[in-house]
Each structure stands twice: as structure tokens, then as C-alpha cells.
Structure 1
């Protein structure tokens, strides 16, 4: 996995019969739930999402998960993945090194309504997080032997798995959706926002020779076919991503202001989630485990007609 930024590769399509021809324009991994993300050029796709995505989580003294909703400063914790460890940096803190293949005592923790098996990452990590966040906190890692199954209601009975994500292994959105929001923000004199606010894993962009994506086309797509060097990856969008206040938090400063949520309120109330605000689609992995996803890879899909 590379953590350097990348420009979208030029891809020309001959995908006759597909409604959408696009490319992967950006890839993001969030090693620690609710901490900063890492933009990468490539990432291995596993059955539980991109490798290392939401593999770790911060919990309180009772094992309950902590997020930017309560602790916006979590946005300032910057992970960097290396071959053998993860380096964490935060303002005013010495760097913390977390070995990728080492854990300590087994624990039970809670993420939303799920109680799951995990491993505590030890007292040094606990002290580091507690000092920075100003509250009792511990770092835990998901136990790969535990199977956390996505909501069967949304997956049509497919037993898809995920780690510490809110509920599904992959979050999908598009450059067009962000551009549409920023146009609306500009119209009322508000500043543009970055994709980091929405914490996607896979971002779709326009492809050379393909039709332009419309804002929120991802809402209407059936299975996505992604051409990789090993064959075809198949992702299925299954549930709109309901939005809490986190998109209001500036990931650079950890300050919150209501402009994003207020704007989404004007046009993104989603009947599928009883009027909740949505942006992006949660997806599951149907095919392509262990394939390498890369920026610039070709993506095709057809519209879904329910």
C-alpha cells in the first residue's frame, strides 16, 4: 500500500452497454475508526473492506467506542502505515508506533449495538490516547476470528462482513457529488469542503471517453465492476450512508460549524432512511477478495431500477 497522493490515470472505455463508465479517482483507508484517513494510490481489497481500514478503534474505560461525534480532536490524529508498523502523530504529542502484527490482551468492546472480540493494544497506547483526548481511552484492534455480519436487511441476505466500520465494509461516493455540494455552498457564500469530510473508501471520477457522472449517481447504481490486474472486482451498493454531524467537522482544524449539514438538509433527505441526510453509499464485496484496487482503474455499472 502506498500513502502518496496520485493523479487519476487516463482510461478509455469500450464498455458497450454499461450505463456508467468511470474510474477510481481516489482511495482512502482509515486505520483507526474516526481518526484521520490516509489517501493511497492502491490498497488490497479484502472481504472486510480495504486492508487495514477500521482495523483499530478507540474505546473508553467501559469498552464503548469513541468517535469525533463526542471528541472532534480525534480528527487530528494522523496515522501513517508503513511495512511493519503504523506511526501516529497528533499536535503536541510524540509519535506513537504501533506494530502491525502485535497485540496484547483479548477484550470485548462495543461498536453501536454490536459487542465484538478485539485485542487491547497496551498501556503505552492507552496513555497516549488518554493524554491527547483528555479522557480515559484505549486503543483496540479487531479480532480477525470474529465475524461481524452486516445488516442482512440491506444486503438481501448476503452474509457480508466488516470490522469497526459503522456497518459495511466499503463506502463509495463520487467527485460529482462533492462538486454538486460545493456549488451549492458557493451559491450561499460558504467555503468549499474537501472529500475528507465524508470519509469514503472509493471515490469515482469521470473517465476519458465515458459520460460525465451526475451528482449522487452512486445512489442509483447496481453492482460495480472494477477491472484489476487480477480480474474483476464486484462491489454492490446496498445502503445509503446516513450522515451524523461529522461532515461539519473540519478535518484540518477539528472545529465544527453547521454549513455542511445545513446545506445537506435542503436537498439530501432520503426516504430510504426515513428522511435522514445521506451522502454516499455503503457497499459490500461480492467478488475480488485479495485483488489490488488502484487509482485510475476502470469502473462500469448499470443503473438500478427498483
Structure 2
């Protein structure tokens, strides 16, 4: 079975807005610069749209040297060069990791924009995936998330409104597998890259947040729960899409063909 890459998205700051790309480099930790930065509370716990849905309105762009973030919540954009400084002990869903503090100016900008004290950190060190022997930056558990366009089309028919793909924040959007075709796939192979799909993506309340307005409504997660509630291992959750680990790295482009097996 063959799928077409219909979209590529990176999220330079965890739980902030995404950047749609025509091509992206797949690295061992996912698409380059994905979830490379994260906002943390004063005690080091990560901030997300679960607590502050307005994080969706943060629009970051990172070129490998300079991070630029704009938002209707702030005046002038934040522009800062990635800093090498003190590393902080931080956590993602209670799992410990390390992040390099990006300075007081960035902390003030984000704290003012979001109305909550926080600091910006950049990933450092290593962090293993729960399964599959992969490594990742600040993503929740796996470096790559995949969702089929046809799966979203089917959900939209069920809810009766055109939910955009941005609600689900996938790194790679596929077309050609049919609704939920990604559920049965274990490998995606292209000319320059390969991904092993390890487990379903367990969805949370963030899918209820409109990524353009930050407004919440409960309908999306409720609709998914009616037909996508399942078990993986010992956990029960609302599954939509797949999570994976890169096995061969290279450049992915929108329009690429991937063999799914």
C-alpha cells in the first residue's frame, strides 16, 4: 500500500503553533527543530495548551540560530538567538529531562503574553522513548506523529463540521491509506527515510482547542470517544493517529510516496 505525504508540520515550541513546510529533514529525534523548545513553570513542569489554551496563538519560527515568536497576545515579536546557558532540570508529564534556559528577556515576553510566570528552555541531553528504542526532544513520548487525511475526513462526517488538521497537530499528514489505514501500518518507507510506527496516538483535551482562536469546545474529544476508545497495553484512551520512531533519516517532501506495511 502506498501513501502520499500530504503535509509536514513542525512545532518549534512545545504546545505552541505549528509551521507547515514543503520539506523537512527527518532526524533521529523527529523532524528537525520539532519540540526543540518548551515553556516551563517556575518549578520546571512543562506548560501546555491543557492549562493555557492561548499557547495555540504563539507562532514560532526557528531557523537553527534565531527563534522568532509572534502572537496577538503580545506587541512586538520576540526575536532571540538560541542561547547556551545554564541547564535546568525540567519535566514532561513528570518525566525528568534537561533544558537550557533561554534568558530573562524571553521569560518576560512569554510570561507577559500568557499571563503566567514561565521560562523558555531548549532541549539538551538525551531522552528515550517508552517503547521502540528511539530518542526524542520535548515531544510527549515519541518523535513523530502521523495522521491520515481520510481519518479526519471520516471524523468530520461524524461531527458534521469541517475540523482542520491543525486540531490534531500531526508532524506528517498522509493521504492514500483510507480512513484509519494508519492503524494497521507498522512501517513507512520512502526513498530517503523510514519510520516505524510504534503505537496509537492517545488524544487529550487539546483537540478541543481551536488553534486559530484558542477557544475550547468539548465536541471533538467527545465525538472521538464514541468510536475510538481503545486499549493499548494496560492503558485505555482515545486513539487517533499513530506515533513513530525514525529508523532511517533523510529529507521528506510534500508529495513524496511512502510504502506502508
**TM-score band, normalised by shorter chain:** over 0.9
- The structure with more radius of gyration: 1
Partner residue in 2 for 1:245: 205
Partner residue in 1 for 2:241: 280
In the alignment, the residues of structure 2 paired with residue 97 and residue 177 of structure 1 have an alpha-carbon distance, to the nearest angstrom, of 37
Q: Show CA shifts across 1:110-136 (max 9, x none).
A: 111321121000000000111011111
Residue 92 of structure 1: how far off its partner (Å):
4.0
Instruction: Map 1:1-306; keep pairs closer than 5 Å.
Output: 20-82=1-63, 84-93=65-74, 94-100=76-82, 102-143=83-124, 146-152=125-131, 155=132, 159-186=133-160, 191-206=161-176, 213-228=177-192, 233-272=193-232, 274-288=235-249, 291-302=250-261
Task: Structure 2: state its 5+ residue gaps.
Answer: none
Inter-CA distance 28–241: structure 2 relative to 1 (3 Å threshold): same
In the alignment, the residues of structure 1 paired with residue 88 and residue 99 of structure 2 have an alpha-carbon distance, to the nearest angstrom, of 5
Find runs of 4+ consecutive structure 1 residues off by over 4 angstroms.
none
TM-score, normalising length from structure 1? Answer: 0.82
1:160 match: secondary structure: coil
What count of residue pairs does the alignment treat as equivalent?
259
TM-score, normalising length from structure 2? Answer: 0.96
Q: Which moved more, 1:133-142 or 1:75-84?
A: 75-84
1:68 match: secondary structure: coil
Inter-CA distance 26–125: structure 2 relative to 1 (3 Å threshold): same
Pairwise CA RMSD: 1.3
